[in-house]
Amino acid sequence: MITLLTYDHSLDGFFTAVFEVYEYKIEKAEIRKEALEKPALFYGLHRVITDPKKAERVFKKLKMLLGEKGIHQIIYSLLTEDEHCERPILEVIKYAIANPEKKVLSNMTNQSVLKLERYTKQVGREKHRMEAFVRFRLITDQIYFAEIEPDFNVMPIIAKHFAQRYQDQKWLIFDQKRQYGLFYNLQTVETVEMDFSDKTKDLEMLGNDEDLYQNLWRTYFDKTNIKARKNTRLHIQHVPKRYWKYLTEKQPF
C-alpha cells in the first residue's frame, strides 16, 4: 500500500514530509498538498504537521548532497504548483541520498532529474516574462499598482527585481489568480492580502475605471491599514525568507 503524506503547501511542510518518509521508514510514499483531492483506494493517509526543526535538517542534508542548484530547483519545482510536482522531487531526493557520491543533477537520463530541470526552466521563463511585461499605473497616495495572473507562483522570485528597479517608488503587484500581492514601501517588500470581492465581481473592471480604483484602494488600503492586510503566515510560508537567497542570483532580496 502507498502511504500518502499530505502537507500544508509550504516549503517547510514539504521538507517535513520528506523527513517523515525516512523517520517512519515509509517505503512507498507519495507527497501531495493537503487541499488536493485524495485518492480513494490503495492509499494510507499520513497528515504532516510542519516542523521547522525537521525541515531544517532536511534542508541541510539536501544542500550538502545537491548544492545550491538543487535547493533552487526544488523551490522552483514547488512554485509550479503542479498537482504532482512533489513526485519527481521526492524521487530525486531519494536518488541523491542513496548515491551521495554521484553528481545526481547531471544525470539527464534520470526522468525525475529531467523533470526538475524542465520545471525550473518553465518557472524561470515565467519569472522573466513577468519582469518584462508588468505595467504599473499610478493610483492614490503615489502608489503604482499592477495586476498579473502568472501560470506559476512567481511572486516570491520577482520581488527582488522590482525592488531594485523601482527603489524610489511605492508599488504593489497583485496576483489576481492567487489573490495576494507584494507591496514595496520604499524600504521593504511585504506580502499582503486584498479582497475586492465585496466591491466588484470582476477585478478586471478596475483597469477601466479610475474612480473605482481610488475608492477600492481607500477602502482596502488607507482605512484598514496595509499592516492589517498582511498575511505573512499564509503566503510567506510557501517560501520562508531564509530560502530566498536560492531563488535569484543566490542573493537575498
- Condensed to tens digits (0 to 9), the pLDDT of residues 92-145 reads 999 999 999 999 999 999 999 999 999 999 999 999 999 999 999 888 778 999
Structure confidence at residue 232 (pLDDT): 42
pLDDT over 60 at 248, yes or no: no
Residues in the chain: 253
pLDDT over 60 at 30, yes or no: yes
Q: What is the mean pLDDT of residues 189-198?
A: 72
Structure confidence at residue 142 (pLDDT): 87
143, 123 Cβ separation under 8 angstroms: no
Digit-coded pLDDT (tens) for 6-25 = 999 899 999 999 999 999 99
pLDDT over 60 at 220, yes or no: no
Confidence band of 46 (pLDDT split at 50, 70, 90):
very high
Confidence band of 239 (pLDDT split at 50, 70, 90):
confident
Structure confidence at residue 238 (pLDDT): 65
Structure confidence at residue 37 (pLDDT): 74
Digit-coded pLDDT (tens) for 67-77 = 999 999 999 99
- pTM of this structure: 0.81
Q: Which residue has the higher pLDDT, 204 or 61?
A: 61
Query: Among 83, 80, 82, 61, which residue's Cα sits nearest to residue 71?
Result: 61
Structure confidence at residue 245 (pLDDT): 67
Determine the Cα angle at 50 with ends 45 and 24, to 5°.
50
Percent of the chain with pLDDT over 70: 76
